Each structure stands twice: as structure tokens, then as C-alpha cells.
Chain A
Amino acid sequence: MNFAVLQFPASNCDQDAIHALRDVLGHPARYVWHKETSLGDADAVIVPGGFSYGDYLRCGAIARFSPVMQAVKQFADNGGLVLGICNGFQVLTEAGLLPGALVRNRDLQFHCEHIFLKTVTPDSPFTSKIPAGKLLKIPIAHGEGCYFADESTLVAFKANNQILWQYCSATGDVTEGANPNGSLLNIAGICNQRRNVAGLMPHPERASESLLGSDDGRWIFESMIAALQNKTVAQAA
């Protein structure tokens, strides 16, 4: 499967994403510069973490207008898989590809630590391969990861099963104490209604091999790969 990893000025998790996809998972992955207007033959797009355009104005506000994001919108509109990680999640919300917004952490601190994620539903191309009941130990590194959405959006999330991951304790309890940033409903990651675009604040690419202390993040990429392979098989048949 061909992955495209976007690069904005001040993206800084792009190389980690390429390493996880190419070297660890063995799939072709290439950088796509923010000024490019085409995603080429990409089967899936990763919008990586970092501080695109210096996080000036608001996180993701400027990246959203870059030429490559117009191609990503079209790709998503055609049903292509798009995953935004950390700053990438912020970019996707600013672009209107995902609902809600990420605001300043409740305690104003930048959090850089391992947290636990509970997968809320296996029903998505981003979660289908995660073993049932498996908690994901994945690092976060953000100052503005407090998820906010209005009440009607949160109601729609529940009705459509759009919350993919929630922050939880080491024993899997979704508690206020396990919420590192004040996100509503402990939301760490969501998908759109069509389920082809997802975003999360934690960094699965930084937890893709045991050498790094956890390889739980692999399950998310493995889910995407499985979804793409199934699609290819379906198309061929």
C-alpha cells in the first residue's frame, strides 16, 4: 500500500511516520511537500504531527489553506483514507474534514508522556485490527489537545459511533483522572461520519516497535493496511 506523508514547514513527526510505515511495516511511503497539488498514487494519507507554520494564529489554521490540503480534501471526498496525528488532527479539524476543535490543555501545560487508550469501536478502517479489550499504550506530546465540540456534535458522535479512542487508566477505566488535557468525553480520537477520515492526538508512529517501549501504535496502521487490502481484493473481484 502506498502511503503519502504530508510535510508542512515545521512538521516534525513526518520522518517518524515514514520510518514506521516503510521500515517497520514494510509499505512504500513518501513525503508530499505542502506546495504539491497532487497526492500521486497514494492509497492513504498521513497528516503528521509537528507545529505546521509555527502554529501561528491557531494550530492548523494556516496549513489548512496549503495547496496539498486541497488535494487531501478531494482525496477524502472520494473516500480515501486520511489519518491526522496530533498537529495533523488539528489541521483536519481546521480544514473541516473532522468536526470540533483542539484547544489549550486544561492545565496550560505541554504534556509529553505515555497514556492509555481505550478503543471504543472496532468498526472503522483505523481500529478493525485492534484486539478486543486491548488498551493501547501510546505517547502524547501536545499543548493544545483538549478536544471541544458542541453538544449536537457529541450527540451525533454517539449515534454514529464516531469516537474511536478515549483516554483511560492503565486498567481501562475512562476517568477524569486519566484525561491528560480536559478533552470532552475523554476523546483522544474520532472519525468522520463516512469513517474514512480520522484524527487522534496520541502518536502511534512513536509506538510502533518494542525498542521504543511500546508497539501498540502498529495496530492502527495495520488496521488501515487491512482495510486497503480488503478494498483492493473487493475491487479485483
Chain B
Amino acid sequence: MKAKIIITPKKAVVDPQGKTVRSALEQMGHQGIKAVHVGKYLEIELDGTDKEIARKTLDEACHRFLSNPLIEDYKLEIE
């Protein structure tokens, strides 16, 4: 199994990286970009086949360690 975790900054937190990338994209001529949010992507390779157990364990890890719930949101997918 493989877990894919996407971590993004919360809307309330200023994201200077996202703003800078957006401005760079505009300068390159890309139009219609409302906002860019720069986050992190983690790919975790797992033993076993029980997706629900993996989800429960990794959900806790995301909340406690992999993301900081005060400043970040996360999305967890297991395939």
C-alpha cells in the first residue's frame, strides 16, 4: 500500500511562497490565477493490506506530527 499526504497552509496563515509563485506566474504571462498555495507532499510506502487500519494510524500521525493543525491542513489518501 501507499499513502499520499498533501499538507497545505491554512487560509488564515500568510503564505508568502504562494504569493511569490503566483506573482512569478503572472509575470510569465499566465493569466487567471486566483491564488497559489505552496505545501508539502509526502509519499509513504506501507506493509500490509488493511487500508482502514493504515488510515487510522496515519491520520493520527498527520494530526500529531506530520502537520501542525494550527497552521496547516492535510489530505490523506491511501491506495
Across the interface, which residues of B come within 8 angstroms of A41, CB to CB?
A: none
Take A61-B65, A108-B20 as given contacts and tell me if A100 and B70 are in contact as well, using a CB distance cutoff of 8 Å.
yes
Interface size class of A (residues with CB under 8 A): 10 to 19
Of chain B, the residue at the smallest CB distance from A106 is B16
Is B28 at the interface (CB under 8 A from chain A)? Answer: no
In whole angstroms, what is the CA distance A58 to B74 when docked? 14
**When A and B form their complex, what is the total count of cross-chain residue pairs whose Cβ atoms lie within 8 Å?**
34
Contact A101–B70 (Cβ < 8 Å): yes
In whole angstroms, what is the CA distance A39 to B16 when docked? 39
- B interface residues, how many (CB within 8 angstroms): 12
Across the interface, which residues of A come within 8 angstroms of B20, CB to CB?
A: 108
Take A104-B17, A108-B17 as given contacts and tell me if A58 and B68 are in contact as well, using a CB distance cutoff of 8 Å.
yes
Across the interface, which residues of A come within 8 angstroms of B71, CB to CB?
A: 101, 103, 148
Contact B65–A182 (Cβ < 8 Å): no
In whole angstroms, what is the CA distance A104 to B71 when docked? 11
In whole angstroms, what is the CA distance A61 to B69 when docked? 12
Contact A104–B68 (Cβ < 8 Å): no
Q: How far is the CB of B76 from chain A (nearest CB, A)?
A: 16
Residues of A within 8 A of B (CB): 57-58, 61, 65, 94, 100-101, 103-108, 146, 148-150, 182
